[in-house]
């Protein structure tokens, strides 16, 4: 912390010395750079607005060749830059203990959480810790305030997950039938079997067979392997392997029979099978416990 204050003071001292030596383009460029740095580090626009105005006036006067006005604007710029720097350093001294206190609040609450709630909280703290490490305390403070404000919701979600977790393991089956009053040939059965094991692993088997429309017949099966956990009442499915067991399709085409008449022809259009490891989260899914209960039957 002491080192950072020394760096800030040296930066301001060097800038002040340059301004006092005359209004050169290099001086003005350095002032612009410092304003940009302070803004990036979280100093509000309201604290930098006067410095920006005098920087603009100094640049404009210099461009017009009016050295007197340029010097006056540069003097005012120096004063307002010093005020902005002082505000920044005051914020550092004020925010550090607040940040430390809020991080302790997060740490204490995190100790009582479990599963994906912990991972979610950890993911939110990563950018905050990074900002603290580079001493961008204003941004870290703003993000941390949001995390602390969300802790009651995290607690609610974690309690709900702990309540539901024992009710998840088992084999859950959902069967849907496709029919058509207009076309009696249309009849297909789609079946989903979601198996949740006590060790946190899951197997999803999904298949469909039959004529699902006037022009389409389907016979396919997909399987997914991975892990599951809950956030609140939502089951998160983290899939790390996905396989196409079969993909057999038939489509109905109307063709010329060679005698000037049209005929209907079913043509097979099979798709390749595969078995792939998933590392990018592209097959991750979720289902609420309410939807699981309503759409599936547990065996």
DSSP code string of 78-122: HHHHHHHHHHHHHHHHHHHHHHHHHHHHHHHHHTT--HHHHHHHH
pLDDT at res. 22? 56
Consecutive 10-residue averages of pLDDT for the chain (299 residues): 39 45 77 85 81 88 85 88 83 87 96 95 96 87 96 97 97 97 94 98 98 96 98 98 98 88 93 97 97 96
Q: What are phi and psi of 153, to 5 degrees?
A: -70, -40
CB 135 within 8 A of CB 180: no
Q: Give the DSSP H/E element, type plus range, for residue 6.
A: helix 2-20
Token pair of 250, please?
Answer: 């038939």
The residue extents of the domains of the chain are: 2-95, 106-163, 168-298
Helix (H/G/I), strand (E/B), else coil: 203: strand
Question: Using CA atoms, how far apart are residues 34 and 85, in angstroms rounded to an integer?
Answer: 9
Cβ contact 37:11 at 8 Å? no
SS3 assignment, position 250: strand
Q: Are 290 and 233 in contact (CB under 8 A)?
A: yes
């Amino acid at each position: 912390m002491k080192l950072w204050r020394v760096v800030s003071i040296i930066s301001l001292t060097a800038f002040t010395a340059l301004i006092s030596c005359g209004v050169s383009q290099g001086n003005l460029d350095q002032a612009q750079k410092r304003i940009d740095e302070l803004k990036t580090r979280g100093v509000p626009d309201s604290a930098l607005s006067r410095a920006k105005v005098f920087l603009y006036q100094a640049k404009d006067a210099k461009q017009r060749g009016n050295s007197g006005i340029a010097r006056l604007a540069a003097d005012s710029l120096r004063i307002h830059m010093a005020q902005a720097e002082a505000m920044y350093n005051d914020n550092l001294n004020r925010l550090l203990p607040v940040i430390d206190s809020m991080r302790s609040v997060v740490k204490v609450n995190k100790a009582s959480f479990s599963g994906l709630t912990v991972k979610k909280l950890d993911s939110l703290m990563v950018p905050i810790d990074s900002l603290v490490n580079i001493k961008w305390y204003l941004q870290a403070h703003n993000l941390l305030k949001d995390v602390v404000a969300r802790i009651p919701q995290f607690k609610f979600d974690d309690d709900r997950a702990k309540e539901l977790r024992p009710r998840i393991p088992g084999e859950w089956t959902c069967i849907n039938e496709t029919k058509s009053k207009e076309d009696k040939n249309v009849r297909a059965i789609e079946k989903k079997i979601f198996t949740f094991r006590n060790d946190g692993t899951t197997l999803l088997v999904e298949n469909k067979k039959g004529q699902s429309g006037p022009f389409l017949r389907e016979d396919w099966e997909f399987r997914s392997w991975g892990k599951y956990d809950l956030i609140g009442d939502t089951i998160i499915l983290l899939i790390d392997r996905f396989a196409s067991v079969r993909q057999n399709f038939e489509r109905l085409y109307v063709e010329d029979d060679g005698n000037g008449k049209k005929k209907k022809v079913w043509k097979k259009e099979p798709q390749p099978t595969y078995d792939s490891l998933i590392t990018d989260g592209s097959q991750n899914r979720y289902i609420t416990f309410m939807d699981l209960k309503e759409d599936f039957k547990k065996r």
